[in-house]
Amino acid sequence: MVVFEALNAEHGDALLLTYDDAGQTRRWVIDGGPAGVFKKSLAPRLEEIRDEIGEDSLLIDLAMVSHIDDDHINGMLQMMRKLVTLKDQGRTLPLAIERFWFNGFHEIVKSSLSGLPGGAKAASLASASGESLDVSELTRQYGIEEHDALVLASVSQGQELQANIESLEIAVNEPFEGLVVAPRSFDLIGTSMTVLGPLQERLDALRQQWADATTKGDVTKLAGLFRDDLDEGIPNLSSISLLVEVNGRKILLTGDARGDDVVAGWKAAGNDPKIPVPLDILKMPHHGSDRNLTKDFLELFPADHYVISANGKFGNPDLGTVKAMAETLGNREYTIHITNHTPPMKEMAAFLTKAAKKPARKFKVNYREPSERSIRIELD
């Protein structure tokens, strides 16, 4: 049995993967959503699982933050803060994390915000409790958008997360030496993995972009690196993307990577990007943003289950994404799973309802029930 859960992470990602490995249950936690998600969704779900198996400490074989955006890292930072506090108090930890995958931002760019005007403000915002993160002062003072301010703050969140991982003595980025970099294929904890992103050349380019933007020593110059019109943002383009093969099933985890980057990673791993790779589950990139989607990506990775974790904030999921899926995927049988159904998503939902009724169309749409913490996909 392979079980994939997409928790209610509001406009972010918080994912759980559980599978059997020769009689041993393996568990992954991938991303933790924005502020509030750890307390409302992730922590209660992990507690439920711990109660179900009757263990004081729940074994997590792999915890992973795909990239530093607040809507992915915040909940994981809250989780690690709690564990560090309990450790300092000499108490039993509710989670036993074996390994952690995380590309710290300062390790990627070999720099930080600390020396820049405005950087101290971003750091102070990030060091505040993630449950009450307030970016209004940063946006007002420097005239940048809320999303950009959250990303700036998450740079320092990443530094704190790195320190917490080290404090808990958790293996970092095993079996890599340093950053998780594509392409790389190996067997680990009962799976065959192919890391598709980020490619080294992408990281090199992002490092140069950061250096160029910080030359003038002005935090406002960084806003252009977090643009979302074509998703050229440094954090998204540095997302860890990963194809997991377990018990005969294939799951593609994309973070906020761009579709063309994932295709490039598949090609760099020595595969033919013209031969489709049927998947069981595809976690759609960047919460269904059409700025991350390409036709080649959809054609290369046809899936039985497409998962979109979003609630309409920042325009995600885009109407353009579901239109492209309907057109490209044609009359295949598949299910689109969406973690929320909110008023900002009304137009997109209406399109899916209408498109699913067309003759010969075989796809279904599944929204998380409001009473449920997650969408759960079970693969026998």
Q: How confident is the model at residue 144 (pLDDT cuts 50, 70, 90)?
A: low
Total tally of structural domains belonging to the chain = 1
The answer, yes or no, to whether residue 58 has pLDDT greater than 80, is yes
Q: How confident is the model at residue 129 (pLDDT cuts 50, 70, 90)?
A: very low
Query: DSSP string covering 176-198, please?
Result: SSSS--BSEEEEETTEEEEEEE-
What CATH number is attached to the domain comprising 39? 3.60.15.10
Q: How confident is the model at residue 158 (pLDDT cuts 50, 70, 90)?
A: confident
Tell me the per-residue pLDDT of 6-42, one tens digit each, with 9 for 90 and over: 999 999 999 999 999 999 999 999 999 999 999 999 9
Work out the average pLDDT over 283-290: 90
The answer, yes or no, to whether residue 212 has pLDDT greater than 70, is no
Across the chain, mean pLDDT equals 85
Query: DSSP string covering 3-48, please?
Result: EEEEE--TTS--EEEEEEETTEEEEEEE---STTHIIIIIHHHHHH
Return the minimum-mean-pLDDT range out of 145-159, 174-188, 252-266, 280-294: 145-159
Indicate if the alpha-carbon torsion angle 67, 312, 46, 191 is positive or negative.
negative
The answer, yes or no, to whether residue 191 has pLDDT greater than 50, is yes
Q: 281: domain range?
A: 2-379
